[in-house]
Structure 1
Amino acid sequence: MYYEARTHEIVEVTNAMEAAIKIKSGSIETYQVMKWTSNDGKYFMYAVPDGHIDNMLLELAILRQEIHSIDANYQQVESITNGWIDNVDILGKYLQESETSNFIMIKNAQLITINPQGHEKAWFTCGCCGTSFLANVKEQIKFDQDAGYGICDRCNSW
């Protein structure tokens, strides 16, 4: 799955295995993102819940950002179907492997933390008519849309 940004809270952990433990234990909320530094010290790594509204943690978008580059973009380097993984060690292994991935799914992904700045856009599903639409994240927050639902322009006009 290609990651779609919503608003998130960063939870810093020491490494990929600690992130896997927190994710598998259910001790994090679906809006929280696990952040750690890659073993080689080149990247900040992020495990971002990216599943559907019923259980956001079933799918994880793995993003990375160069540490020593000013205004470095977030890159999506992996999509892990966490729902298929029963063992915390296996999830930890996949998270560690993503640290050195040469594959980039998205070169300029978004990671919106706390409050959107106003320019970020993401795909939403209209809570009224079910239409999928691209919209400004900050404008959709008034509809409580951190889970991906919003109100499209057609329905908002009523």
Structure 2
Amino acid sequence: MYYEARIHEIIEVASALAAAEKIRSESMYTYQVMKWTSKDGNYYMYAVPDGHLDEMLAELAILRQGKNQDDAPYQQVESITNGWIDDTDILARHLQDAESSTIIMKSNAQLIIDKPKGDEQASFTCGCCGNWFKDNVQKQLKFDQDAGYGICDRCQQWY
């Protein structure tokens, strides 16, 4: 999940339809996350850009968080290939369906807002050798890894 290695800004919108309109209008930045309250009022919902470097909005991770719980974990409940969707209403329908999803893709998803606290771990692709590795997000920021790229320990000797 590329989104777990990125830093985000929350943009609150009124509904899944408003989130879909903002996403489809291409008036949002790729580090922004659309947040709304589910229709039943039990969850905060998040549409998070999860594509790769060339098209971050092509893939959306849909997270939810219990609204009435202190420090409720984020749950990933859907992954939407937004690049295949041309219609705002269809995207809105997928976002609305995610509000009541019984499928939990990841029960303790990581969403970094504003800046890392220091203990977040994520998966990266090394921008030097191409190997996959897991590391501390804050440590990798100096390599500007906003799309899931970083520099592994083996290659850091060259930087």
Q: TM-score range by the shorter chain?
A: over 0.9
| Displaced runs of 4 or more, over 3 A | none
In structure 2, the gaps of 5 or more residues are: none
2:118 paired with 1:123: no
Counterpart residue number, 1:111: 111
- Cα gap change, 1:113/1:52 in structure 2, threshold over 3 Å: closer, same or farther? same
Match of 1:133 in 2: 133
Structure 2 residue identity aligned to 1:140:
Q
Aligned partner of 1:130: which letter? G
What per-residue deviation string (whole Å, max 9, x for no partner) do you get for residues 65-122 of structure 1? 0010111000000000001111000000000110011110000000001100011111
SS of 2:30's equivalent in the other structure is: coil
Provide the secondary structure at the position in 1 that maps to 2:61: strand
Tell me the distance in 1 between the aligned counterparts of 2:16 and 2:89. Answer: 10
Q: Secondary structure of the residue that 2:63 maps to in structure 1?
A: strand
CA-to-aligned-CA distance 1:38-91 (integer Å, 9 cap, x gap):
011100000000011100100000000001011100000000000111100000
* TM-score normalised according to structure 1 size: 0.96
- Show structure 1 runs of 5+ residues with no match: none
Contact persistence 1:60–1:79 (CA under 8 A): yes
Partners of 2:19 and 2:135 lie apart in 1 by 31
TM-score, length basis structure 2? 0.96
Between the aligned partners of 1:50 and 1:20, the Cα distance in structure 2 is 15
* Amino acid paired to 2:147: A
Q: Which residue of the partner structure matches residue 7 of structure 1? A: 7
Q: Is contact 2:16-2:36 (8 Å) kept?
A: yes
> Partner of 2:30 in structure 1?
30
Alpha-carbon separation, structure 2, partners of 1:23 and 1:102: 24
Partner of 2:73: 73
What CA RMSD, in Å, does the superposition of the two structures yield over aligned residues?
1.0
